[in-house]
Amino acid sequence: MCRAGSQGGKFAVAVKEEMTDEERLDFAKGLSLKLMWKIRIRGEKLFLSANYQTAVYPKDGNSAEDLLNKLITDHYMRLYVESPAEDLTEKCRLLAAGRTDVEFSEYADYQLTELSKALNQYRKSVEQIAYFDPVYHIGNRMKYLKDVDMLISYDAKRYFRVYSMDIRSFSKYNELFSVSTGDALLMEITRRLEHIFGNNLYRINGDVFIGISFEADKDKDHKVGRIRNAFQSPIVVEDSTFTLDVLIGICDYPLHAKTSEKLLESVQMAVNYAKTSGAGMANNVILYDDKLLEVRREEARIVRLLETSLKEKTLEVWYQPLYHLKRERFTGTEALVRLPHGNGGYVPAGQVIEIAEKNGLVGQVGEYVIHRACTFMMEKGKKLGIESMGINLSVQQLLVENSVPSIIGHIKKTGLDPKCITFEITETVLIQSIELAKGILDELSSYGVRIALDDFGIGYSSLNYLLNLPVNVLKFDRSMTKKSVDSEKQYALLKAMIQMADISQMDVVAEGVETKEEWKMLTSTSASYIQGFYYSKPLPEEKLMQFLRDNNHIENVKQ
């Protein structure tokens, strides 16, 4: 390769031997892609615009000079032959129609070339606004789509790998610290990821980054290790040190998807799978494959099952009794949804709720459970000594407009006093929208219903923030009990936390108590209630009634 011509290296010439016509065509495609590539000059990103000509020896000339002359003459001929005004007008039209690959070129006329340069500058400044994140200075979703479309159109055979990186529970950093802390964390992550992906890094929304890599398969673990490091190496913001947990989805072009949109959809599907499958730190990387499609199909089946069971009222509600330690009897129950699977079994409740949330059905499910549980309480529960019915509320159900009057309306329709209801809200989910949730919980409790914080201990587990919320009951997650049986330290911690809840006038329920040993340990704390398989699994209505008749020593209640 050498530089040629009189205009200070404006032309570069390269020689390649023994190429067929087809190879030349492929090569030309790759070449024009390379020429349009962004480059960095003194820290600034620039796009090069360049034309290329080819000459073939001996057809186009017998000496190096002849061949060079042919290339340069062809270049200027092209400039003369193309009608500049028509070309400019057509390009402006394409630009106005939203085309993103328009490049204004040089013309023989000096003034038109100047105009062309000015239009290029204008196009770039508009692109900057449309395609770049103004805060983090990396490409956005539109830029990702544009770049990947271009990659594919230039060389449909070229392999590349798309990584989606999502920070686990990122919103809690904004909620618990400040938005500027969240921004500072994202800024540092962006900087670190740029070291890995260079210009092929995009921020798709919020805390979701996309990176593209052209390296081959075998490099996967190395790359993943570097990504993990970028998130997990400590980040210091003001006085606090953070280490973030990342979920990574991976998808290959052209194996898993063949368009920019489909690649994004598939890689997001992989990340969402990592999120919802409860993958721990060790298993937070999901490579897209057909199994994910299978998961999707099963999900669609469950949605249909749920819709039918709501319509035909075959969705079941089971109840698990809560034992009051001081009063030595069962005074509460928790309502738990049960969706028949069609093969004699049931779809796990957690999965039903998650799918209902994703598919806009959680409001209907919630309404159904409230209606069933309150009716049961009115007609049978109270007579069996049950004073409080626990009903789980999905935060999604809570955060919709006018949720409180509608929820209370459904209770009142059954004739039940709202005081008999304890709504259970999961701690980890609540904390992600704590400001909004606080107002709604205040409104709910103004009607006399009680509020329980469910699964306490697996999330943030601070009693501090709870003091501002109208929480009456803390339900300690099973994992807390399990840990405390084996460790003196954990036991002391659990005991102290229960004591603090007691001082703050919150009732404590120990959930998921299975063994005599766990039960014994808990009776030496100030927990008020015990719920778990130790006493009973969740039971259908009739079986629960029998259980309560046998254990609360109440007779004469008809089935």
Spatial distance between the Cα atoms of 181 and 174, rounded to a whole number of angstroms: 7
Q: How far is the CB of 149 from Mg ion (least distance, A)?
A: 46
- Which part of the chain contacts ligand C2E (CB under 6 A), choosing from 10-18, 229-237, 242-250, 390-398? 390-398
**Using the rule CB under 5 A, is 427 a contact of Mg ion?**
no
| Candidate list 454, 456, 473, 545; residue touching Mg ion; CB under 5 A | 454
Spatial distance between the Cα atoms of 75 and 28, rounded to a whole number of angstroms: 16
The footprint of ligand C2E on residues 299-358 (CB under 6 A) is 320, 336-337, 348-350, 353
Q: How far is the CB of 428 from Mg ion (least distance, A)?
A: 11
Helix (H, G, I), strand (E, B) or coil at 453: strand
Q: Which amino acid is at 456?
A: F
Spatial distance between the Cα atoms of 286 and 248, rounded to a whole number of angstroms: 6
Q: Residue 350 or residue 540: which is nearer to ligand C2E going by CB?
A: 350
Maximum CA pair distance of the chain? 112
Place of tokens 């593209």: 212
Site size toward ligand C2E (CB under 6 A) is 23
Q: How far is the CB of 335 from ligand C2E (least distance, A)?
A: 6
**Using the rule CB under 6 A, is 532 a contact of ligand C2E?**
yes
**Using the rule CB under 5 A, is 455 a contact of Mg ion?**
yes
Interface pattern 437-476 for ligand C2E (x via CB under 6 A): -----------------xx---------------------
Q: Residue 193 or residue 407: which is nearer to Mg ion going by CB?
A: 407
Considering CB distances under 5 to 8 angstroms, the limit depending on partner class, which of Mg ion, ligand C2E, none binds residue 123? none
Neighbours of 126 (CB within 10 A): 11
Q: How far is the CB of 359 from ligand C2E (least distance, A)?
A: 14
The footprint of ligand C2E on residues 501-530 (CB under 6 A) is 511-514
Considering CB distances under 5 to 8 angstroms, the limit depending on partner class, which of Mg ion, ligand C2E, none binds residue 349? ligand C2E
Element (H, E) at 317: strand 316-324
| Candidate list 147, 424, 427, 518; residue touching Mg ion; CB under 5 A | 424
- N-to-C CA span, the chain: 93
| Candidate list 260, 426, 445, 484; residue touching ligand C2E; CB under 6 A | 426
Q: What are the φ/ψ torsions at residue 201 (nearest 5 degrees)?
A: -125, 135
Q: Residue 306 or residue 497: which is nearer to ligand C2E going by CB?
A: 306
Q: How, if at all, do strands 246-253 and 160-167 pair?
A: antiparallel
Q: How far is the CB of 494 from Mg ion (least distance, A)?
A: 16
Q: How far is the CB of 525 from Mg ion (least distance, A)?
A: 18
- Cα radius of gyration rounded to whole Å, the chain: 33
Q: What are the φ/ψ torsions at residue 287 (nearest 5 degrees)?
A: -90, 130
User: Which pair of structure tokens corresponds to residue 528?
Assistant: 């008020």
Interface pattern 382-411 for Mg ion (x via CB under 5 A): ----------x-------------------
Site size toward Mg ion (CB under 5 A) is 5
Q: How far is the CB of 329 from Mg ion (least distance, A)?
A: 21
Q: Residue 69 or residue 351: which is nearer to ligand C2E going by CB?
A: 351
Q: How far is the CB of 258 from ligand C2E (least distance, A)?
A: 38
Q: What are the φ/ψ torsions at residue 508 (nearest 5 degrees)?
A: -115, 130
Q: How, if at all, do strands 450-456 and 421-426 pair?
A: parallel
Q: Which amino acid is at 266?
A: S
Element (H, E) at 191: helix 179-197
- Which part of the chain contacts Mg ion (CB under 5 A), choosing from 47-55, 113-121, 307-315, 450-458? 450-458
User: Which pair of structure tokens corresponds to residue 282?
Assistant: 């060790």
Considering CB distances under 5 to 8 angstroms, the limit depending on partner class, which of ligand C2E, Mg ion, none binds residue 369? ligand C2E
Long-range contacts of 236-245 (CB under 8 A, 24+ apart): 237/177, 237/181, 237/184, 237/185, 237/188, 238/181, 240/177, 240/181, 242/173, 242/185, 244/167, 244/168, 244/170, 244/185, 244/189, 245/167, 245/168, 245/169, 245/281, 245/284
User: Which pair of structure tokens corresponds to residue 50?
Assistant: 């360049």
Helix (H, G, I), strand (E, B) or coil at 103: coil
**Using the rule CB under 5 A, is 507 a contact of Mg ion?**
no
| Candidate list 71, 152, 204, 369; residue touching ligand C2E; CB under 6 A | 369
User: Which pair of structure tokens corresponds to residue 1?
Assistant: 């390769």
**Using the rule CB under 6 A, is 405 a contact of ligand C2E?**
no
Q: How far is the CB of 514 from ligand C2E (least distance, A)?
A: 4
Contact residues for ligand C2E (CB under 6 A)? 320, 336-337, 348-350, 353, 369, 392-394, 424, 426, 454-455, 478, 511-514, 532-533, 538
